[in-house]
Amino acid sequence: MTRSRKELVSLSDTSWYHCVSRCVRKAFLCGVEKGSGGDYRHRRQWIVERMKFLSSIFAIDIACYAIMSNHYHLIVHIDKERAFSWSQDEVLLRWSKVSTVPLICARYISFRSEMSESELRRVGELVEDYRNRLYNLSWFMKFLNEYIAKRANQEDGVRGHFWEGRYKSQALLDERALLAAMVYVDLNPIRAGIATTPENSEFTSICDRIQTVKHVNELIAVNSGLDTEDNKCFLMPFDGMGSVSWAIPYVFEDYLELVDWTGRAVREDKRGFIDDRQPKILQRLGINGESFIEYAISFLKEFGHAVAVPEHLVDLCVKRNQRYLKGMRASRKLFEG
């Protein structure tokens, strides 16, 4: 049974979500089309640039992404508290960058001292509506997908759908689910056979992070300044010490080791290979290494609308008054094996 987006994206359950959007008819509208031979690979950069722009406007941060020829993956963190820390002026300024605001809001910005109490009250109501939208995942995805669809249709001189229906989302209920989802996303090009290492997996967050680290190290070597905007990665930072609330809760070096180790195991010429010296991050989180490699290939199919350790899935079943959630068997094998 189809469930409402409000049920699937609930901040009382988690602030972490894995999203997937696919091109209509699974056509390679962001790659090289097999039939026509049209090359649309440049559209993947459009998606990166749009994600970067929207993450600077919304209280939604990007932890991980992979943009393929006919679909893309996104792992986001929703920061409701940040949205409620913004002033009315900041909310209006942010919303005006993605949508037209009514005349009454424009008047408020320039001539608020001349406005009546009823007008000010109306502006306040609109601001709260915009504030709620600025941490709403559906609005974020709407502004991302609509922009790409319109730009691509304009380029092709056509009309119609570019993306399949609604985007799909999975709630990531705990740290182990987040880790498994991130590795699955970052290894998409390697699983598809179009890349052999994380550092040459174009249009993925892992490649972006590696290139950023290399660039910063080069600047340090030549004693250049590091504070320019060009040197900052738009992705969420890692913080395994837990000293920053707005961060991915792992050490980046540990995560990089895990992606590299898993990537070598899921390559076609290395199928089934498991190194005894599995990354320490798996041992620390109590994740079965063999199962982790298996689900790095089939993660999206095995889990439904939520990913978590078994007890968290059971809790969600009770909360939603459901008897069963897809992925319970996979969860036991991955997180308890």
| Contact criterion met (CB below 8 Å) for 11 and 136 | no
List pLDDT tens digits, range 47-66. 999 999 999 999 999 999 99
Beta strand 306-307 with 168-172 is: parallel
Report the percentage of the chain scoring pLDDT > 70: 89
CA dist., res. 8 & res. 2, Å (int): 10
Q: What are the structure tokens assigned to 61, written together?
A: 């941060």
List pLDDT tens digits, range 84-126. 999 999 999 999 999 999 999 989 988 888 999 999 999 999 9
Q: Which domains does the chain have, with CATH numbers?
A: 10-82+136-336 (3.30.70.1290), 87-133 (no CATH)
pLDDT of 337 over the 60 cut: no
Mean pLDDT of 194-211: 90
CA dist., res. 69 & res. 202, Å (int): 11
List pLDDT tens digits, range 2-22. 566 666 788 989 999 999 999
Identify the helix (H) or strand (E) that includes residue 103. helix 103-111
Rounded to a whole number of angstroms, the distance between the first and last alpha carbons of the chain is 30
Give the amino acid at 117: E
> Which residues, 6 or more positions from 60, have their beta carbon under 8 angstroms from its beta carbon?
54, 76, 77, 78, 79, 135, 137, 140
- Residue 246 is predicted with a pLDDT of 79
In this prediction, residue 229 has a pLDDT band, given cuts at 50, 70 and 90, of very low
> Which residues, 6 or more positions from 222, have their beta carbon under 8 angstroms from its beta carbon?
none
pTM above 0.85, yes or no: yes
List pLDDT tens digits, range 137-163. 999 999 999 999 999 999 999 998 999
Neighbours of 220 (CB within 10 A): 10
CA dist., res. 97 & res. 54, Å (int): 9
Indicate the range of 68-82, 103-117, 195-209, 320-334 predicted with least confidence.
Answer: 320-334
| Eight-class DSSP state of 321 | T
CA dist., res. 274 & res. 1, Å (int): 38
| Contact criterion met (CB below 8 Å) for 281 and 179 | yes
- Residue 272 is predicted with a pLDDT of 41
